[in-house]
Amino acid sequence: MTTGTGSAISVRGVSKQYGSGVRGVHALQPTDLEIANGEIFGLLGQNGAGKTTLVKILLDIVRPTTGETSILGKSSRHTQARSSVGYLPEDHRFPEYRTAAGMMDFYAALSGSPKHERRVRSGELLEQVGLADAGKKKIRGFSKGMKQRLGLAQALVHDPQVIFLDEPTDGVDPKGRAEIREVLTGLKRQGKTIFLNSHLLSEVEQVCDRVGILHRGTLVRCGATSELTRSEGMFSLTTQPEPDEATVAAVRELVVEVNVTGTELEVQIAREDDIDGVVDLLRSRGIGLRALSKKRLTLEQVFLQVIDEKVEGKS
Amino acid sequence: MKTFFVILEDSIRESIDRRSLIILLFLSIVAIVFCLGISYQSENPETLLARNFSQLDRLEYTRSAGLSSFNMSNSIGFEAEIDGIRPVTPEDGFPKDVAHGYRIDLTTTQSHLNGLVRGWRSFQEDIERHGLDDDEQEEVEVPTTYPPEDWQQALRERIAHDLFPHVHVGKAQIGAENEVKIATAVAVNDWADIPGAHKQSLFFGLVEQKVIDTSLSEAVVNMQRVLANTFGGFIGILIALGVCSSFVPSMLQKGTLDLVLARPVGRVPLLLWKYLGGLSFIFVFGSFLIGGCWVALGLRTGYWDPMFLLSVGVLMLGFSFLYAVSVTVGVWSRSTNMAFMVSVGVWGISSSATGLYRSRDVLLKSSPEWVKTLIEVLYTILPKITDLDTLNTWLFSKATLDPMAYDRIMKELPEVDWFFSLGTSFAFAAVVLALGCRLFYKRDY
Ligand SMILES: Nc1ncnc2c1ncn2[C@@H]1O[C@H](COP(=O)(O)OP(=O)(O)O)[C@@H](O)[C@H]1O
Ligand SMILES: [Mg+2]
């Protein structure tokens, strides 16, 4: 089934306006997006950016104002597009009258999974998300964290190829988050495609191959995580011993900007070659070099930068 | 189809969780136990005949006017003494149809027999006129005496009326001082069809035995009507509407619907399955109630009437019309209360409209034109739930009653154009459900 190539999710010119007239909300501007098979894609954005809207359009829960979407080559408007799709909605609410296992079985059956298979899989999954003991209990008594884990389990119960997770770590404690991350990396190893919505940037950074940043309904940045966080001309150096004031002043002459904290130097240079000059200078002053690396931004920094640009651009 | 059973199972779990299915099953058990607690005992023939023949003077009948009906009681001024009651013997030389019946010897007077003829004839004329336009009747000269053949005929008709279809009335033997002796005979081959022939006791004998004034078969039909129309068709549908009205809104809850819509199930099938889920719910309830009562009544009365079982289908019909409203309002408002109230409202309005329309000549005689039009429009478009009670009554009567009692009950029922009644009801449900599907299909969730 999994080919590893081709596009698992495709969004072409999709926009969404809720309601019409003055009271209408432009939740999504025309957006294009392709996500390859086996990729983990993270969609970042503030609350109200339109992340959920995009996922719901992909799942045909919300109808787009313009454009088309498809999953595994099938238009979202076809019921069958959802036959190999798992979805963990944000703020999901399970029917409380069922047990965890009963509910898993219900959703798996709706996805057309055969009886024997779904029994085995739901047992395995409940164990995997740490709910093995709670399987026979009514969902009524579950805590928020348990419901979130159960949500993840139901999204995977029919062994889908494509998985949409909308804020999966919302309301989950740090240990639970780590477990969810583990589940995600496990899924990636199996070659599943994952579409992850989150406003928690470090999460996304840790697991996603590619990231999109959605701001007020516009996809403002999209690319590989490593590319987005790479920052041109930023280096960090660790010296031994600490550079003295005069040395720092000399370095400042060579570079655009320098920040010193103890033995850590952060330099911003105009051309990549300029770093050699800095190294030579330090060495000539008898200061040893213990580490030299290209500095990366955290996703958070990238994100804030993008948002700032947008806000400035507007005003 | 698999999806249907998955969704149905889910709905049933939901209703079990709410204890509502239990309430309905409990209600059914109450009805079944009630049926089991009834017992009938036939009366001694001599007692029965003595009572009936001493009451020939009183004529009771029902006259309907508009929505209501009156029980009328008339005296026709006839008195007779019963000289003896005994089984017919071959020596009596009576016709074949009463050969296995009873012979009742009466002693009366000529003036009483004249009174009988006069009273009986005027009663029949009254019936033919349906009691209307009394004043326009021109006074006719009424004779005071009639020939013995008329006595014979009137007495035969009077005894046959509502009582014994097979009657033989012998020649009047005029004796001294105005006295007349008449030998009569009646066939009682179907004891169950004779009014007043049975004693009934309720609650396993806790409520004492009492002679009922209907025949056993009519009592059974009345019982079936109460069970199918009141227990099932009213209380049952009302509770089932309450239960099933929550199915759609609970599925549409924010956060719950997403989980279902993300599955490969179309929205229209999803809603239709939910609708059928409600119908299956009433089917389960109806089968339990009607099936259980059928067995209980069968055991207690010996009537195993398959038509009674058909009323499960009639129950589902009525529910299907109303549940369509509930489902659509549920989609529109996402509120259980709203869905329930509107469907009950439609039920109430449609029943009133049907009643008013049927009796418009009497009840709407002096209403303004727009009221008449409104009632007519409502009657035409809304489902005709009350007709289903008529349908049940017709089915039960046809299966169980003797022709005389059947005719009597049919006279009480409104005349229904079944093609129109069921056709418009189905059309209503289909249109309402289609609206619901369209709304559900179009919406963003
Ligand atoms: N059903 C809806 N009707 C009207 N407006 C909506 C609806 N759903 C979302 N919105 C609006 O669309 C915008 C995007 O919402 P959403 O996609 O939920 O954002 P996010 O998931 O990124 O927080 C918000 O302004 C929100 O208020
Ligand atoms: Mg969201």
Domain count, chain A: 2
Among protein residues, the one whose CA lies closest to atom 7 of ligand 1: A18
B432: number of CA atoms within 13 Å, CB side? 25
Q: Which two tokens stand for residue A263?
A: 């033995």
- Is residue A231 within a helix (H) or strand (E), and if so which, with residue range? strand A230-240
* Separation of CA A166 and ligand 2 centre (Å): 7
CB contact under 8 A, B264 and A63: no
Contacts B3 to A, Cβ<8 Å: 109-110
* Coarse DSSP helix, strand, coil percentages of chain B, rounded to the nearest 5 percent: 65, 15, 25
Question: Chain A residue closest to B8 (CA)?
Answer: A106
Reply yes or no: is the peptide bond before residue B148 cis, omega within 30 of 0.
no
Q: Give, for ligand 1, the residue of A25, A58, A63, A165 to mutate: max count of ligand atoms closer than 8 Å to Cβ.
A: A25
CB contact under 8 A, B2 and A94: no
Using alpha carbons only, how large is chain B's radius of gyration in Å? 28
Say if residues A243 and A259 touch (Cβ distance below 8 Å): no
**Over 80: is that where the pLDDT of A138 sits?**
yes
Is A195 found in the same domain as A84? yes
pLDDT in tens, B199-230: 888 888 787 777 777 778 888 888 898 999 99
Is A264 found in the same domain as A120? no
Is A128 found in the same domain as A46? yes
- Mean pLDDT, to the nearest integer, of A41-56? 91
A146 Cα to chain B: minimum distance (Å): 16
Is A270 found in the same domain as A204? no
- Please, which contacts does A252-256 make with residues 24 or more away whose CB atoms are closer than 8 Å? A254/A278, A254/A281
Beta strands A40-45 and A210-215, pairing class: parallel
Q: Give residue B308's identity as a one-letter amino acid code.
A: F
For residue A263, what are the contacts with CB-CB under 8 A and spacing of at least 6? A238, A239, A240, A241, A242, A290
A106 shares contact with chain B (CB less than 8 Å) = yes
Partner residue opposite A111 with nearest CB, options B255, B258, B264: B264
Say if ligand 1 is within 6 A of residue A71 CB: no
Atom number of ligand 1 nearest to Cα A45: 22
Q: What is the CATH number of the domain that holds A170?
A: 3.40.50.300
What pLDDT does residue B181 have? 82
Q: Residue A75: beta bridge partners?
A: A70
Say if ligand 1 is within 6 A of residue A18 CB: yes
Q: Compute the C-alpha angle B90/B95/B100, nearest 5°.
A: 55
Separation between Cα atoms, residue B263 and residue A86, nearest integer Å: 8
Q: Which two tokens stand for residue B260?
A: 């279902």
B252 Cα to chain A: minimum distance (Å): 11
What pLDDT does residue A30 have? 93
Mean pLDDT of chain A: 86
Is A277 found in the same domain as A167? no
| Residue at A312 is within a domain | no
Please list, residue by residue across B201-233, b when 16 or more beta carbons sit within 10 angstroms of its beta carbon and e when fewer do. beeeeeeeeeebebbbbbbbbebbbebbbebbb
pLDDT in tens, A83-98: 999 999 988 888 888 8
What pLDDT does residue B132 have? 53
Question: Chain A residue closest to B266 (CA)?
Answer: A79
Q: Residue B185: beta bridge partners?
A: B103, B168
What pLDDT does residue B438 have? 95
A274 shares contact with chain B (CB less than 8 Å) = no
Choosing from A227, A243, A278, the residue where a domain stops is A227
CB contact under 8 A, A89 and B255: yes
Q: Is the dihedral of CA A105, A111, A113, A115 positive or negative?
A: positive
Partner residue opposite A93 with nearest CB, options B253, B442, B445: B253
B265 shares contact with chain A (CB less than 8 Å) = yes
In this prediction, residue A172 has a pLDDT band, given cuts at 50, 70 and 90, of: confident
What pLDDT does residue B111 have? 82
| Residue at A313 is within a domain | no
- Mean pLDDT, to the nearest integer, of A63-81? 92
What pLDDT does residue A178 have? 85
What pLDDT does residue A2 have? 41
pLDDT in tens, A207-232: 888 999 898 899 888 888 877 777 77
Is A252 found in the same domain as A195? no
Instruction: Write out the DSSP string of B75-88.
Output: E-----EEEEEEE-
**Nearest of B112, B50, B104 to residue B77 by alpha carbon:** B112
B19 Cα to chain A: minimum distance (Å): 11
| Residue at A116 is within a domain | yes
Instruction: Write out the DSSP string of A4-50.
Output: S-SEEEEEEEEEEEES-GGG-EEEEEEEEEEEETT-EEEEEE-TTSS
What pLDDT does residue B136 have? 53
Is A245 found in the same domain as A204? no
| Residue at A206 is within a domain | yes
Atom number of ligand 1 nearest to Cα A55: 17
What pLDDT does residue B64 have? 59
* Separation of CA A27 and ligand 1 centre (Å): 6
A294 Cα to chain B: minimum distance (Å): 43
| Residue at A126 is within a domain | yes
What pLDDT does residue A4 have? 42
Three-state SS string over A76-110 comes to: CCCHHHHCCEEEECCCCCCCCCCEHHHHHHHHHHH
Say if residues B114 and B144 touch (Cβ distance below 8 Å): yes
Say if residues B316 and B254 touch (Cβ distance below 8 Å): no
A94 shares contact with chain B (CB less than 8 Å) = yes
- Neighbouring C-beta atoms of residue B416, cutoff 10 Å: 18
Reply yes or no: is the peptide bond before residue B90 cis, omega within 30 of 0.
no
**Over 90: is that where the pLDDT of A139 sits?**
no
Among protein residues, the one whose CA lies closest to atom 11 of ligand 1: A27
What pLDDT does residue A1 have? 42
- The ipTM estimated for the assembled molecules is 0.81
| Residue at A307 is within a domain | no
Domain boundaries, chain B: 2-41+200-442, 44-195
CB contact under 8 A, B13 and A102: yes
CB contact under 8 A, A62 and B261: no
Q: Which two tokens stand for residue B289?
A: 């109630």
Beta strands A162-166 and A40-45, pairing class: unpaired
B311 Cα to chain A: minimum distance (Å): 32
What pLDDT does residue B67 have? 56
pTM: 0.80
Say if residues A88 and A164 touch (Cβ distance below 8 Å): yes
Q: Give residue A259's identity as a one-letter amino acid code.
A: N
Say if ligand 1 is within 6 A of residue A48 CB: yes
Give residue for tokens 């009674």: B308
Is A144 found in the same domain as A266? no
CB contact under 8 A, A60 and B256: no
Is A98 found in the same domain as A41? yes
**Nearest of B237, B215, B228 to residue B292 by alpha carbon:** B228
Give residue for tokens 């969704």: B7
Q: Which ligand is nearest to the CA of A214?
A: 1
What pLDDT does residue B131 have? 52
What pLDDT does residue A3 have? 42
Is A151 found in the same domain as A292? no
Q: Compute the C-alpha angle B279/B280/B286, nearest 5°.
A: 90
CB contact under 8 A, B256 and A110: no
Which domain, by its residues, includes A262?
231-296
Say if residues B233 and B31 touch (Cβ distance below 8 Å): no
Q: Give, for ligand 1, the residue of A11, A16, A17, A18 to mutate: max count of ligand atoms closer than 8 Å to Cβ.
A: A18
B2 shares contact with chain A (CB less than 8 Å) = yes
Beta strands A193-198 and A40-45, pairing class: parallel
Is A97 found in the same domain as A244? no
The per-residue pLDDT string of chain B (445 residues; one tens digit each, 9 = 90 and over) reads 788 888 888 888 887 887 877 888 888 899 999 999 888 887 777 777 888 787 777 777 666 555 566 666 777 778 888 888 888 888 878 888 888 888 888 888 888 888 888 888 877 777 666 555 555 555 566 777 888 888 888 888 888 876 677 888 888 788 777 888 888 888 776 777 777 777 888 888 787 777 777 778 888 888 898 999 998 889 999 999 998 999 899 889 888 899 999 999 999 999 998 999 889 888 988 999 999 999 998 888 888 888 889 999 999 999 999 999 999 999 999 999 999 999 999 999 999 998 888 888 777 777 788 888 899 899 999 999 998 889 998 988 888 887 777 888 888 888 888 899 999 999 999 999 999 999 999 998 8
| Residue at A257 is within a domain | yes
| Residue at A310 is within a domain | no
Q: Residue A193: beta bridge partners?
A: A162
Collapse the DSSP code of B193 into the 3-class scheme (helix H, G, I; strand E, B; otherwise coil) and give the result.
Answer: helix
Instruction: Write out the DSSP string of B326-390.
Output: HHHHHHHH--HHHHHHHHHHHHHHHHHHHHHHHTHHHHTTTS-HHHHHHHHHHHHHS--HHHHHH
Please list, residue by residue across A78-106, b when 16 or more beta carbons sit within 10 angstroms of its beta carbon and e when fewer do. ebebbbbbbbbbbebbbbebbbbbbbbbb
Q: What is the CATH number of the domain that holds A256?
A: 3.30.70.2470
Contacts B13 to A, Cβ<8 Å: 97-98, 102
What pLDDT does residue A315 have? 45
Separation between Cα atoms, residue A304 and residue A298, nearest integer Å: 10
B439 shares contact with chain A (CB less than 8 Å) = no
Among protein residues, the one whose CA lies closest to atom 27 of ligand 1: A48
CB contact under 8 A, A83 and B264: yes
Say if ligand 1 is within 6 A of residue A289 CB: no
Is A209 found in the same domain as A164? yes
- Neighbouring C-beta atoms of residue B52, cutoff 10 Å: 19
